[in-house]
Amino acid sequence: MAEDEEEGYRWESGYEKTWEAIQEDEAGLLDSSVADLVARAKRARLHRARPHVRLGIMRHLYLVLDASEAMFVQDLKPTRLICCLKILEGYVQEFFDQNPISQLGIIVTKNKRAEVVCELGGNPIKVIEHLRKLSSAPCVGEPSLMNALELAASSLRTMPSHASREVLVLMASLTTCDPGNINATIQSLCKEKIRCSVIGLAAELRITRHLAQETGGEYAVCLDDSHLRDLTMAHVQPPPAVAHMEAALIRIGFPSHNTSADSPGKLSYCMCHLNGPAPPEGPDRGGYLCPQCYSKHCELPVDCATCGLTLMSAPHLARSYHHLFPLEPFEEVERPPGGPPQHCAACRARIDTQKLISKCGKCSELYCVDCDLFIHETRHVEVAVTSRGSGYGGAARRGTLWVGV
Amino acid sequence: MLELKKGLDAKGHLVLEMPSGTGKTISLLSLIVSYMLERPLEITKLVYCSRTVPEIEKVLEELAKLNRFIEKQTGQKTKLVGLAVSSRKNLCIHPEVSQEREGKVVDSRCYGLTAGYVRARAARADTAAGDGDGADPVPTCQFFEQLEESGRDATLQAGIYSLDDLKHYGRERGWCPYFVARRAIQQANIIVYSYHYLLDPKIAEVVSKEIVQSSVVVFDEAHNIDNVCIDSMSVHINKRMLERCSNNISAMEKRIANLKETDAARLQDEYQRMVDGLRDAQMKRENNQLLANPVLPDQILQEAVPGNIRTAEHFLNFMKRLVEYLKMRLRVQHVVQESPAGFLKDIFNKICVDRKPLRFCAERLTSMIRTLELTDMADLSPLVLVSHFATLVSTYTKGFTIIVEPSDDKTPNVYNPILYFRCLDSSLAIKPVFERYQSVVITSGTLSPLDMYPKILDFHPVIITSFTMTLARPCILPMIVTKGNDQVTISSKFESREDPAVIRNYGNLLVDMVTAVPDGVVCFFTSYMYMESVVSSWYDQGIITQLQKHKLLFIETQDAAETSLALLNYIQACENGRGAVLLSVARGKVSEGVDFDHHLGRCVLMFGIPYMYTQSRILKARLEYLRDTFQIRENDFLTFDAVRHASQCVGRAMRGKTDYGIMVFADKRFQRSDKRTKLPLWIQEHLKDSMCNLSTEEAVQISKRWLRRMAQPFSRQDQLGISLLTLQQLQSEEMQNKMRERVTHRI
């Protein structure tokens, strides 16, 4: 958790027996074993087997956030709610970063009701703004899983069939107060092919596990805040596409970027900040201009506010592309006994002192664990292979492109 | 399995404790069946006794699986015949009779349709109708008739038949499944039925007498076997029953008068039979064909029925006198307790009835019913009961007691005298079973302390073992909570149970657990009375409202229908995520027969130690008897019984390897080593010292963390090598050593 937040008092939490997880290594030292544990956990995430499946690149996702009384419990610091919102902020950013042609909305359930806080949309700023507002909202009563799901389904139902329909539920409460039979709702979700994943904050609740199982989603319960972050971030990756999804072409705009320095254009407000409070720096010359209607936007990716065209830059699309052809996971190799000192191919740090070393299967370069993670999670392109470029450059220069999804 | 094999080799009796859901049934079945296939001469039959109908069904499912597996492995059809036997109620396919709800009614209606003389009469009526006489045809059961016609010698094909299979089979052929099953007992290799068919002497005589000696008998879920034994030998008589007896007698008198006018020859016949005595039965016993019937000891069979009850009128007069005498005995204002010998003396003095005719009461009555062609058995049940009582009381002088109480335990102010004739010695009913069969296996999830059972059942097992679970994760979390958040000691002991502070702390414990635990929570109280008082004070203290915020609340009552409705709704509430709390009572229906697997029971709370009601005369008499005969101290037995029930209650939540559940023992007294060490080994193993003597808050913290850990994905991969073995692993050197170590360690 961020340090600037007011921490909960230590005595309000449970007895945390941190020493139980640690074991001494052969030399009686603790440091290495702790580092080892962390590194292994990270690698385990990467190595999750990914068979060659079709992925739903264009995603429509509703986040369902439980805002019941149980969100005020302080086992995640400072409270579950604030912890969740912090993590979700990061998630939303990452989500749009990795899935630039997707849409996301937020539903909050409390006091036996559910309401849409933020409609499905492609603008991360708006979503994050709504999330920030939620942190001051009161958490009361019980949640209603059924109402929330119905609400999400009613909106997702109208989405085109080439897009994946998803719901991600963050559930803190151990009870749900529903007006009818939730099993019927789950059945209808199955029929609509809406994939529901659930992250529990407290314990395994039968109905949520059932929901996830039936609709083909994932179910998980967090151990602590870092585990919660990991679990949430796992949903950034697009899920495998459902069988019925049809292939379609969608129009995407690649706006040209005018920097304030090189364009003598007029001062103007961008579309994103037109309705809200004016940005502190005032009107600007720079920004992204929609290739269709020439309205200005200050950030990408976004749906054009005027003509509705999906705007993004070529690297965004390239990043979506990596989901389809992921970088092969590196092999874990044993440190060779003796020999000359070896260095990581990326950061040039000495790696023969470390326990875990990764090796690229293609070019047999060696990497340290941190670089391994960086390459796979953020960069998606191997460092040593320098000549790999984006194949979209030419089309992007021309303005728009039809992209198959 | 190894232990079981040893026991079978030694042809002795076994006591095994295995936690539920660890494949107890299948390992028992597979070994015994293989043994049977391998050495068909040594073991010819397996009799598997379980407690309830669903349990019987489960056993058969496993058996069918096993059969398929064996067939697949050996590539040839096995010649095994396995079947379930149950009451007429569960097997009847007669369109009208099977609609009846109560077992007794079904029995008597079936009897009315299938008894020998009814059928004879029907045959007569048929011929009469054929002659054009116009007499009403006597109704009979067509399924039974068809079975009689075609299926007398027909045998079941090899295979496993569950209750439904039997019914299906019956419908297909138009045979009565109940009688098919009854007949097949002799032929079948594996028989699955309820305890009562073997333990209750009245039923055992009918059903189980033809089972050969070289059988293996398994009592599953046998933690209550001593009580079953005792109940099967005990009789309760109250005033209403005696009134109905008198009615029965007068009805029979009329009938006899009628019969005398029309058909005196039959009565004469019966008289002759009486003189001949029960020589037939004696012959059978000499051939060792009959399961020794404890109700009828040997010497009776050698005598003829005494003269004063041979004729029907005399017998009825005799019964009338007996019933009047019992009525007189019931007219008491204070508790009377006496031994059977004293009772007999008193009966001799008052109404001049001596011991011998009393003994023949039961036999004489059945014979008379047969002669009189009475069909409505349900109506006659009080009279039958009294006759059983008379026979028992005159046969046994040791191990029984007679208690007359002016009022019921539950309603101490209402005058409702009851005569209890209680068996005190649980070994009496089971003794013939132990003596007759080659090996008897007693097994359950909760049998600890194991050495108690051989003592109270009076037998010498060759092997007594308690197995623990090998688990890949700590899937049970037993905790002993001894104090509330305000450090008040919590206990249900008599002095402190009404203390509002204790009740409040129990309430807070429940509320805190309910907030932390998902889905179903089950609480057990020590008695209905205690539960009622606690719930009413919780209501005053506002605890109930707090509870209902998190989960719905259900309460077990003494009414069976109400309880099953509550259970149904409880399950529904757990299923759809609302969550529910069930308040119930140890020793109640819920604590015995209902499983709360997976989400239905994530947490079980045991409020207090479920001691028996120690003021009860019956219990006192039994304790005294146990002390005198078996040298078991009162306190030892009480603790044994209480802990056995407590572990039975908490064991409800744990029903398999993938299951997990919290078990909270909320009483300071569980902390003591005499209670703790009596818990089953598989619970003790997880009950670390750090889990004892907790306060409410600590318990909640621990369970929260534990629940999170348990919710992590748990795949087959994780179990492999620990609690699941592949064939290679099983054969590997390392594993073999480990197993050998475990076995030697245990011994």
Span A241-260, pLDDT tens digits: 666 666 777 788 888 877 65
Closest CA of chain B from A329, distance in Å: 22
B737 and B669 in a common domain: no
With a cut of 80, say whether residue A47 has pLDDT above it. no
Of A202, A205, A220, the CB nearest to B577: A205
Separation between Cα atoms, residue B612 and residue B640, nearest integer Å: 11
Write out chain A residues lying below 8 Å of B695, CB-based: none
User: In degrees, to the nearest 5, what angle opens at C-alpha A395 toward C-alphas A392 and A400?
Assistant: 120
pLDDT of B133 reads 46
Separation between Cα atoms, residue A97 and residue A95, nearest integer Å: 5
B485 and B339 in a common domain: no
pLDDT of B570 reads 93
> Any CB–CB contact under 8 A between A226 and chain B?
no
Assess: ipTM above 0.95: no
B297 and B189 in a common domain: no
CATH number at residue B210: 3.40.50.300
Strand partners, B194: B50
pLDDT of B251 reads 84
Of A14, A204, A220, the CB nearest to B518: A204
Q: In this structure, which amino acid lies at residue B164? A: D
Q: Provide the token pair at B539.
A: 């209501």
With a cut of 50, say whether residue A4 has pLDDT above it. no
Q: Does the distance separating the beta carbons of A14 and B701 come in below 8 Å?
A: yes
Angular region, A307: left φ>0, alpha ψ -120 to 50, beta rest: alpha
Handedness of CA A110, A111, A113, A116 (dihedral sign): negative
* Closest chain B residue by Cα to residue A204: B711
Closest CA to B48 of B188, B203, B183, B232: B188
Give every CB contact of residue A307 below 8 A, 6+ residues apart in sequence: A290, A292, A293, A295
Among A23-37, A291-305, A335-349, B302-316, which stretch is predicted with the lowest mean pLDDT? A23-37
Strand partners, A332: A358
Separation between Cα atoms, residue A375 and residue A42, nearest integer Å: 13
Q: Rounded to 5 degrees, what are φ and ψ at A346?
A: -100, -55
pLDDT of B110 reads 75
* Domain-embedded: residue B471: no
* Domain-embedded: residue B140: no
Separation between Cα atoms, residue B404 and residue B393, nearest integer Å: 14
Side-chain-side CA neighbours of A330 within 13 Å: the count stands at 30
Summarised one tens digit per residue, pLDDT across range B463-496 is 787 777 666 677 889 999 999 888 888 888 888 8
Which one of A1-5, A39-43, B505-509 scores highest in mean pLDDT?
A: B505-509
Write out chain B residues lying below 8 Å of A202, CB-based: 516, 518, 704, 707-708
E strands, B576-735, in order: 580-585, 603-607, 661-666, 694-695
* Closest chain B residue by Cα to residue A219: B713
Separation between Cα atoms, residue B637 and residue B629, nearest integer Å: 13
B401 and B438 in a common domain: no
Cα first-last separation, chain A: 37
- Please give the DSSP secondary-structure letter assigned to residue A383: S
* Domain-embedded: residue B108: no
Among A161-165, A271-275, B163-167, B562-566, which stretch is predicted with the lowest mean pLDDT? A271-275
Give every CB contact of residue B401 below 8 A, 6+ residues apart in sequence: B337, B338, B339, B340, B421, B422, B424, B618, B621, B625
B202 and B59 in a common domain: yes
With a cut of 50, say whether residue A155 has pLDDT above it. yes
Closest CA to B375 of B87, B90, B107, B91: B107
Summarised one tens digit per residue, pLDDT across range B25-50 is 777 787 788 777 777 767 777 888 88
Give every CB contact of residue B214 below 8 A, 6+ residues apart in sequence: B41, B42, B43, B44, B45, B438
Provide the H-helix boundaries in B333-465. Answer: 340-351, 355-359, 361-372, 377-395, 427-436, 452-457
Q: Provide the token pair at B373.
A: 């062609």
Write out chain A residues lying below 8 Å of B515, CB-based: 174
Three-state DSSP at B666 gives: strand
pLDDT of A33 reads 52
Q: Is the peptide bond before B449 cis (omega within 30 degrees of 0)?
A: yes
Q: Provide the token pair at B569.
A: 């709704």
Separation between Cα atoms, residue A232 and residue A95, nearest integer Å: 10
Closest CA of chain A from B166, distance in Å: 35
Closest CA of chain B from A253, distance in Å: 42
Separation between Cα atoms, residue A345 and residue B37, nearest integer Å: 67
Q: In this structure, which amino acid lies at residue B463? A: I
Residue B522 lies in domain:
476-714
pLDDT of A11 reads 53
Closest CA of chain B from A14, distance in Å: 6
Separation between Cα atoms, residue B644 and residue B224, nearest integer Å: 9
pLDDT of B467 reads 76
Q: Which residue has the higher pLDDT, A48 or A174?
A: A174
B625 and B565 in a common domain: yes
B449 and B359 in a common domain: no
Separation between Cα atoms, residue B101 and residue B406, nearest integer Å: 33
Closest CA of chain A from B477, distance in Å: 15
Strand partners, B489: B483
Summarised one tens digit per residue, pLDDT across range A189-214 is 998 889 999 999 988 888 999 999 99
Strand A400-404 to A249-253 pairing: antiparallel
Write out chain B residues lying below 8 Å of A221, CB-based: 708, 711-712
Please state whether the predicted TM-score (pTM) of the whole model is above 0.95.
Answer: no
* Domain-embedded: residue B153: no
Among A8-17, A72-81, A93-102, A255-264, which stretch is predicted with the lowest mean pLDDT? A8-17
Mean pLDDT, residues A302-310 taken together = 80
Strand B418-423 to B235-238 pairing: antiparallel
For residue B635, CA distances in Å to A350, B630, B640 come to: 72, 14, 8
B609, burial (CB in 10 Å: exposed 0-12, middle 13-18, buried 19+): buried
* Domain-embedded: residue B61: yes
What is the count of residue pairs from A and B with beta carbons less than 8 Å apart?
75
Q: How far is Cα of residue B550 from the mean position of the Cα atoms in its chain?
A: 36
Three-state DSSP at A254 gives: coil
Q: How far is Cα of residue B27 from the mean position of the Cα atoms in its chain?
A: 22
Separation between Cα atoms, residue A235 and residue A225, nearest integer Å: 16
B594 and B550 in a common domain: yes
**CB B77: neighbour CB atoms within 10 A?**
12
Total of domains in chain B? 4
> Any CB–CB contact under 8 A between A11 and chain B?
no
If pLDDT is split at 50, 70 and 90, which confidence band does A19 have? low
* Domain-embedded: residue B102: no
Q: In this structure, which amino acid lies at residue B671? A: Q
Separation between Cα atoms, residue B636 and residue B677, nearest integer Å: 13
Of A75, A175, A220, the CB nearest to B577: A175
Tokens 């300071």, located at residue: B668
Separation between Cα atoms, residue B738 and residue B734, nearest integer Å: 6
Do the Cβ atoms of B62 and B25 come closer than 8 Å? Answer: yes
**CB A153: neighbour CB atoms within 10 A?**
19
* Domain-embedded: residue B423: yes
B729 and B695 in a common domain: no
Give every CB contact of residue A294 below 8 A, 6+ residues apart in sequence: none
Q: Provide the token pair at B10.
A: 């030694």
Q: Is the peptide bond before A301 cis (omega within 30 degrees of 0)?
A: yes
B619 and B524 in a common domain: yes
Three-state DSSP at A121 gives: strand
Q: Does the distance separating the beta carbons of B518 and A174 come in below 8 Å?
A: yes
Q: Which of B447, B466, B485 is the last residue of a domain?
A: B466
Of B574, B704, B713, the CB nearest to A206: B574
Separation between Cα atoms, residue B7 and residue B24, nearest integer Å: 16
Mean pLDDT, residues A32-61 taken together = 62
**CB B458: neighbour CB atoms within 10 A?**
15
With a cut of 70, say whether residue A12 has pLDDT above it. no
pLDDT, mean over chain A: 76
B628 and B569 in a common domain: yes
B593 and B667 in a common domain: yes
* Domain-embedded: residue B507: yes
Closest CA of chain A from B699, distance in Å: 10
pLDDT of B289 reads 37
Strand B520-525 to B694-695 pairing: unpaired
Separation between Cα atoms, residue B283 and residue A223, nearest integer Å: 74
Write out chain A residues lying below 8 Å of B697, CB-based: none
Three-state DSSP at B341 gives: helix
Tell me which residues of chain B have a pLDDT lower than 70. Answer: 1-11, 20-23, 41, 76-78, 101-103, 115-119, 124-139, 150-157, 202-211, 263, 270, 272-307, 373-378, 408-412, 469-472, 715-747
Separation between Cα atoms, residue A217 and residue A208, nearest integer Å: 10
**CB B287: neighbour CB atoms within 10 A?**
7
